[in-house]
Amino acid sequence: MIIDRADVIVTSPDRNFVTLKITTSDGVTGLGDATLNGRELAVVAYLTEHVVPLLIGRDPARIEDTWQFLYRSAYWRRGPVTMAAIAAVDVALWDIKAKVAGLPLYQLLGGASRTGLLTYGHASGKDLEELFDSVRDHQEQGYKAIRVQTGVPGLKSIYGIASNATFDANNGVRYDHEPAQRGALPNEEDWDTRSYLRHVPTVFEAVRAEFGPEIPLLHDGHHRMTPIQAARLGKSLEPYDLFWLEDVTPAENPEALRLVRQHTTTPLAIGEIFNTVWDYQQIIREQLIDYVRSAVTHTGGITHLKKVLEYASQYQIKSGMHGPTDISPVGMAAAMHLGLAIHNFGIQEYMKHGAKTDEVFEQSFTFEDGMLHPGEQPGIGVELNEQAAAAYPYAQAYLPYNRLADGTVHDW
Ligand code: CS2
Ligand code: MG
């Protein structure tokens, strides 16, 4: 059996997705997610022009060898585009190997280490009333853990608030916060860290008063604070016992987390914009994080993220895989198979996709009683309806960016 063909399929049901479909000479197919939000076409070009020609004729069973070949023969290593392209090939080959074995993928990764995957959903509101409604709505959907994002008085639009812009963009269907907005240019948003730092602790105080001490609560600082501001936020949120505080400060500077650790015991999650184990070496070795946030889609696939998580397990650091809507159902399924098999699973992010996306990606994974499960279908358990996909052509979309009151560009 050899790799006979590889197709790069771009579709935009509720948002843009890039999927690699590998087909073997025996007609077995495998899917891999290569969606890089707001830069989708860069990965399409990398795959189409530079990777697909190298795959034809290869033995699909040699996954590790193919990974090393694509990583080392490129000479130019790492980075979001390269590692999303390699991830798509990797997951598609694991999908094929599991189908050939007639087993759900998690069985090839060591079998199930748990009955299901604790999951968190995104509750948000520009004010407390809207936020409380959103928390209740997610609890009714079955979520046992809730990420809380809130509007900040004085700021027009802010990351993570579903009611901001997404309503109209989806024909009036309320849809979880979809950060990438369709259009020729990125939206500009405003930001002020001091008003945010004053406001967020009051919101968590109110949420705990309303919903009690047990429910696991998470918050995403979304890369916006300086190290000392991040330390202050972590400390001010300690009374509210967060499950984690995510991306408190831009991840490029691992030293920053030492200062944060000095001041707070609030658990820290980092890594959704990381692409390789080398991004994690220092912060894992120095015990500066508690959760690895990488997604399979952005970290070189199952082959590489499994190595990151095995390294993390030596430091009792757990997984907290990235699972927003810009990770396709293929990427989500891959994350679930890995999450079910590894020992150091922590929690899985899960933003539900829209109806059009569910039409394009036929999924066998389940979400019951707040737990995800990849299902028992051979492979990863997701198939692509190419006819439906063709009905939704690519639509340019960008993530927003921030400017401070004085016009300075700031982390979004
Ligand atoms: C976020 C994402 O879910 C999260 O934790 O950080 O929504 C992120 O903004 C998007 O994935 C960017 O594409
Ligand atoms: Mg995040």
Q: 177 C-alpha to center of ligand 1: Å?
A: 9
Q: What is the pLDDT of residue 209?
A: 98
Q: Which atom of ligand 1 is nearest to the CA of 351?
A: 3
Which residue owns the Cα nearest ligand 1 atom 11?
A: 324
Query: What's the chain look like in SS3?
Result: CCEEEEEEEEECCCCCEEEEEEEECCCCEEEEECCCCCCHHHHHHHHHHHHHHHHCCCCCCCHHHHHHHHHHCCCCCCCHHHHHHHHHHHHHHHHHHHHHHCCEHHHHCCCCCCCCEEEEEEEEECCHHHHHHHHHHHHHCCCCEEEEEECCCCCCCCCCCCCCCHHHHCCCCCCCCCCCEECCCCCEEECCHHHHHHHHHHHHHHHHHHHCCCCCEEEECCCCCCHHHHHHHHHHCHHHCCCEEECCCCCCCCCHHHHHHHHCCCCEEECCCCCCHHHCHHHHHCCCCCEECCCHHHCCHHHHHHHHHHHHHCCCCEEEECCCCCCCHHHHHHHHHHHHHCCCEEEEECCCCCHHHHHHEEECCEEECCEEECCCCCECCEEECHHHHHCCCCCCEECCEEECCCCCEECC
**pTM of the model as a whole:** 0.96
Which residue from 300, 258, 260, 252 is spatially nearest to 280, judged by alpha carbons? Answer: 252
Residues 160-178 have a mean pLDDT of 56
Q: What is the pLDDT of residue 161?
A: 85
Q: Please, which residues have CB within 8 angstroms of residue 382's CB and are 6 or more apart in sequence? A: 31, 329, 330, 333, 361, 362, 363, 364, 365
Q: Is the pLDDT of residue 173 over 70?
A: no
CA distance 331 to 10: 14
Q: What is the pLDDT of residue 26?
A: 98
Q: Please, which residues have CB within 8 angstroms of residue 11's CB and are 6 or more apart in sequence? A: 17, 19, 360, 388, 389, 390, 392, 393, 394
Q: What is the pLDDT of residue 71?
A: 98
Which residue owns the Cα nearest ligand 1 atom 6?
A: 222
Q: Is the pLDDT of residue 299 over 90?
A: yes
Lowest-pLDDT choice from 158-172, 364-378, 396-410: 158-172
Which residue owns the Cα nearest ligand 1 atom 4?
A: 324
Q: What is the pLDDT of residue 176?
A: 57
Residues 388-396 have a mean pLDDT of 98
Q: What percent of the chain has pLDDT over 90?
A: 94
Mean pLDDT, the chain, rounded, equals 95
Q: What is the pLDDT of residue 168?
A: 45
Please name every residue paired with 135 in a beta bridge, in sequence order, or none if there are none: none
Q: Please, which residues have CB within 8 angstroms of residue 90's CB and are 6 or more apart in sequence? A: 32, 63, 66, 67, 300, 301, 302, 303, 304
Query: Is residue 382 very low, low, confident or very high in pLDDT (cuts 50, 70, 90)?
Result: very high
Q: What is the pLDDT of residue 179?
A: 85
Q: 36 C-alpha to center of ligand 2: Å?
A: 14
Please say whether the beta carbons of 321 and 59 come within 8 A. no
Q: What percent of the chain has pLDDT over 70?
A: 96
Higher local confidence (pLDDT), 164 or 251: 251
pLDDT digits (tens, 9 = 90+) for 178-228: 889 999 999 999 999 999 999 999 999 999 999 999 999 999 999 999 999
Residues 233-247 have a mean pLDDT of 98
Mutate to test the pocket of ligand 1, among 164, 177, 322, 352 (most ligand atoms within 8 A of CB): 322
As for ligand 1, residues whose beta carbon falls within 6 Å of it are 37, 179, 220, 222, 272, 322, 324, 326, 349, 399
pLDDT digits (tens, 9 = 90+) for 253-298: 999 999 999 999 999 999 999 999 999 999 999 999 999 999 999 9
CA distance 293 to 223: 13
Query: Is residue 164 very low, low, confident or very high in pLDDT (cuts 50, 70, 90)?
Result: low
Q: Which atom of ligand 1 is nearest to the CA of 247?
A: 6
Residues 9-23 have a mean pLDDT of 97
Q: Which atom of ligand 1 is nearest to the CA of 180?
A: 13
Six-digit token pair at 43?
């990965």
Give the number of other CB atoms < 10 A from CB of residue 336. Answer: 29
Residues 130-148 have a mean pLDDT of 97
Lowest-pLDDT choice from 176-180, 243-247, 381-385, 398-402: 176-180
Please say whether the beta carbons of 381 and 30 come within 8 A. no
Residues 90-112 have a mean pLDDT of 98
Q: What type of residue is 353?
A: H
Higher local confidence (pLDDT), 167 or 189: 189
Q: What is the pLDDT of residue 170?
A: 44
CA distance 412 to 407: 14
Please say whether the beta carbons of 200 and 222 come within 8 A. no
Please say whether the beta carbons of 254 and 228 come within 8 A. no
Q: What is the pLDDT of residue 157?
A: 86
Mutate to test the pocket of ligand 1, among 222, 272, 349, 350 (most ligand atoms within 8 A of CB): 272
Q: 98 C-alpha to center of ligand 2: Å?
A: 31
Q: What is the pLDDT of residue 136?
A: 97
Q: 65 C-alpha to center of ligand 2: Å?
A: 32
Q: Which atom of ligand 1 is nearest to the CA of 327?
A: 11
Q: 247 C-alpha to center of ligand 2: Å?
A: 6
Ligand whose nearest atom lies closest to the CA of 322: 1
Q: What is the pLDDT of residue 207?
A: 98
Q: Is the pLDDT of residue 163 over 90?
A: no
Which residue owns the Cα nearest ligand 1 atom 3?
A: 324
Catalytic residues: 159, 222
Residues 31-53 have a mean pLDDT of 98
